Structure 1
Amino acid sequence: MSLEHRYDFVWIFDVKDGNPNGDPDAGNLPRIDAETGHGLVTDVALKRKIRNFVAMTRDQTENAPQPDEKRYEIYVREKAILNLQNKRAYAALGIELQEDAAENEEGKKGKKKRKGGGDAVERARRWMCQNFFDVRTFGAVMSTGVNCGQVRGPVQLTFARSVEPIVAQEHSITRMAVATEEEAAKQQGDNRTMGRKHTVPYGLYVAHGFVSAFLADQTGFDEDDLQLLYQAICQSFEHDRSAARGEMATRALIVFEHESKLGNAPAYALFERIQIRRKPGVEVPRAVEDYDIKINEEDLPPGVRLLRLC
């Protein structure tokens, strides 16, 4: 069933004694806005949580109880080779890939590259949307080598930003073992490995999301996909535990449903109805209970309905 409404949503989650999104360019420190000190979690990291949840719960293609279960494969998955994924579309559609010789600057023939062309690319693009949940949800650039075109996804997420500045703590940790005999010899049998771990004592984060019904029509993103997206947002942290991430949990998913596809109010005006403030008397917040989360549900713009999903 195709989407008949525009949706804007607010994803509120928190972290306790964990690193919600390490920055590999900064020694895996929690990401921070350098000017304000607010914590950040990238949209890519949030999408990864959703992809992993869908892969865990729905991407069972070999033992799918129904043929349409193949709709829930994940395109951008760990250790995937994307051009091999693209080739599957051509193989499934029975389209032979063209072989074009690439010319270098001197006009000499170089290595051959596989590509698709014309109507074949559009057919491959549709096949990818039909079979991969994340392609028809978030979009993808699939024109690298084996050309399956580009998809602009109907669901877009912003960076998540903490409500207040965070403190990134660094801890020394010890492993009571070493990796090699050479290391053991240097330590004369002590056999310890020192390391570092970064955590945020507590942070409450907010991300914004947008669902376009018009783009959903182009990719085939439907009502079932939307409900699966909401389920992934509400439950993904419960199945993404690790020592590095500490305690993370979705605290609220607040959805503004528009009566029309075009929308009945600007997203920013709806997001501004949600106010999060530290409670009076709380000097150092360490739990979601230390904040007041207020939602102004009065006098919503005509044609807009508010839903609290978790």
Structure 2
Amino acid sequence: MTDTSPKLTRRHDFVLFFDVTNGNPNGDPDAGNLPRLDPETNRGLVTDVCLKRKIRNYVELAREGESGYRIYVTEGAILNEKHREAYVAERGDSAEVRGAKKLSPKSDEEAKRIRDWMCDNFFDIRTFGGVLSTGINAGQVRGPVQITFARSVEPVLPLEVSITRMAATSEADKKQRDEGSGDDERTDNRTMGRKHIIPYGLYRAHGFVSAPLASHEVKGTGFTEADLALLWEALGNMFEHDRSAARGEMATRRLVVFEHDSKLGNAHADALFDRVKVWRKRPDADGSDAANRHPIGAAETDNWGPARSFDDYVVTVDKDNLPPGVKILK
């Protein structure tokens, strides 16, 4: 990849808010695809893997065909064959390289060149890192961008909704209906199903961008300022091209970015995240007035109905007395 974008030299931390309305943001395959929950608090969860998948999908759409923006983890991909491409670039397109079931670098220098080729060509390797040592060994990469699980700001109550389909699954089902041998002759070929939804949930995730892991001469992935801008773009738009009947309506609601003026940072991330607070807003009131909002779970909100839109919340960011060398971008 030929990239003239400056290397990333500043640490960033960010808070992402997104919501779901009448949908399942991230089903749990071990629980019949129910929305993921913290069983002790009933707060909804969305895994970091789910969020990274949406970022990958957006970048794949937005930078389709552009050099350096391929996606490593794609549906149906054979990952070892992508590792093999790095060896072809390094050693040439020979029958030995094409036919080998296992390949390993012959020196530390070759290992670095193969690793760098993977970082240069695949955005998600350059961003999130990856274990590339399966069979055809392309090394291991620590990614500069890491994202936590997202957690709903309040408990959520998943609903199981019954649905029907007015068609038979097979000829045998249709024959059973025509002969009247089913349990209910009035079903008219209908097939019953279930759908799990959350009526509404506002989720919060934290993220970190390490400048040393991006730009270090040896360990860095080459993640640049342009890549960072694309990451912000993806976080803001990733739900716009991820529509599904199962997921209802999902949208990014707020992205708060703290930028440090140094590689290692000027403040602890948790102290910065504590500046971002979510409040319940009094129904039909002006949330900009502090008297009309209260902390999540406060006694004043006990008689309020459940939140059903982002308008039921207020997100505030304390911008006073920021640590020296830290500024808020969004």
Pair in the same fold by TM > 0.5: yes
Aligned-pair distance for 1:30?
Answer: 0.2
- Mapped to 1, the partners of 2:53 and 2:147 lie a distance apart of 12
Aligned to 2:26: 21
Offset, 1:182: 1.1
**1:97: Cα distance to partner?**
9.2
CA distance in 2, matches of 1:90, 1:59: 24
Instruction: Kindly provide the CA deviation profile for residues 180-218 of structure 1, in whole angstroms up to 9, marking residues without a partner as x.
Output: 111212222822111110000000000000000000011
Q: Distance in 1 between matches of 2:111 and 2:195?
A: 46
| Residue of structure 2 in register with 1:106 after alignment | none
**Over aligned residue pairs, what C-alpha RMSD do you find?**
1.5
Distance 2:231 2:173 in 1: 47
Q: Which residue of 2 aligns with 1:180?
A: 170
8 Å CA contact retained: 1:178, 1:184: yes
Matches within 5 A, 1:144-159: 144-159=134-149
Give me the TM-score of the superposition, normalised by structure 2.
0.84
Q: Which residue does the alignment assign to 2:291?
A: none
Query: What's the CA shift for 1:257?
Result: 0.2
How many residues are matched?
Answer: 288
Q: How does 1:135-174 map to 2 (within 5 A)?
A: 135-174=125-164
CA-CA distance at 1:121 after TM superposition: 2.6
Q: 3-state SS of the aligned residue for 2:315?
A: strand
Q: Determine helix, strand or coil for the equivalent of 1:71.
A: coil
Cα displacement (A) at 1:24: 0.5
TM-score, normalised to structure 1's length? Answer: 0.90
User: Structure 1, residues 156-203: CA drift from partner, whole Å, max 9, x if none?
Assistant: 000000000001000111111123111212222822111110000000
- Whether the aligned pair in 2 keeps the contact of 1:8 and 1:257 (CA below 8 Å) is yes
Cα offset, 1:57, TM superposition: 1.2
**In 2, Cα distance between the equivalents of 1:98 and 1:269?**
54
Code of the residue aligned with 1:285 in structure 2: it is A
- For 2:309, give the aligned amino acid: A
* Map of 2:68 onto structure 1: 71
Match of 1:130 among 92, 97, 120: 120
Contact 1:90–1:97 under 8 Å retained in 2: no
Letter in 2 for 1:252: R
1:115 aligns with 2:137: no
Cα distance in structure 1, aligned partners of 2:111 and 2:32: 41
1:257 is the counterpart of 2:259: yes
Letter in 2 for 1:15: V
Q: How does 1:1-310 map to 2 (within 5 A)?
A: 1-60=6-65, 69-95=66-92, 113-117=101-105, 118=107, 119-188=109-178, 190-217=188-215, 218-280=220-282, 282-308=304-330
CA contact (8 A) 1:136 1:153 kept: yes
Whichever structure has more strand as a proportion of its residues is 1
2 CA distance for matches of 1:264 and 1:307? 15
Distance in structure 2 (CA, Å) of the matches to 1:121 and 1:186: 63
Structure 2 Cα separation of the partners of residues 301 and 20 of structure 1? 35
Q: Which amino acid aligns with 2:321?
A: D
Deviation at 1:124, TM superposition (A): 1.2
Could you list the runs of 4 or more consecutive aligned residues of structure 1 that deviate by over 6 angstroms after TM superposition? Answer: 96-99
Question: Residues 198-246 of structure 1, C-alpha deviation per residue, up to 9 Å, x if partnerless?
Answer: 0000000000000000000110000000000000000010111110000
Q: What secondary structure does 1:16 align onto?
A: strand
Find the aligned partners of 2:222 and 2:56 in 1 and give their Cα distance: 17
Deviation at 1:128, TM superposition (A): 0.3
Distance in 2 between residues matched to 1:97 and 1:140, nearest whole Å: 27
Cα distance in structure 2, aligned partners of 1:97 and 1:200: 54
Residue type of the alignment partner of 1:135: I
Q: Which residue identity lines up with residue 12 of structure 2 in the other structure?
A: Y
Query: Is this contact kept in 2: 1:38–1:161, CA < 8 A?
Result: yes
Q: Could you report, residue by residue, the CA deviation over 1:10-31 in whole angstroms, capped at 9, with x for unpaired residues?
A: 0100000000000001000000
Letter in 2 for 1:224: A
CA deviations on 1:1-57 (whole Å, 9 max, x unpaired) are 101210000010000000000000100000000110000000000000000000011
SS at match of 2:8: coil
Distance in 1 (CA, whole Å) between partners of 2:70 and 2:161 is 39
1:79 alignment partner AA: G
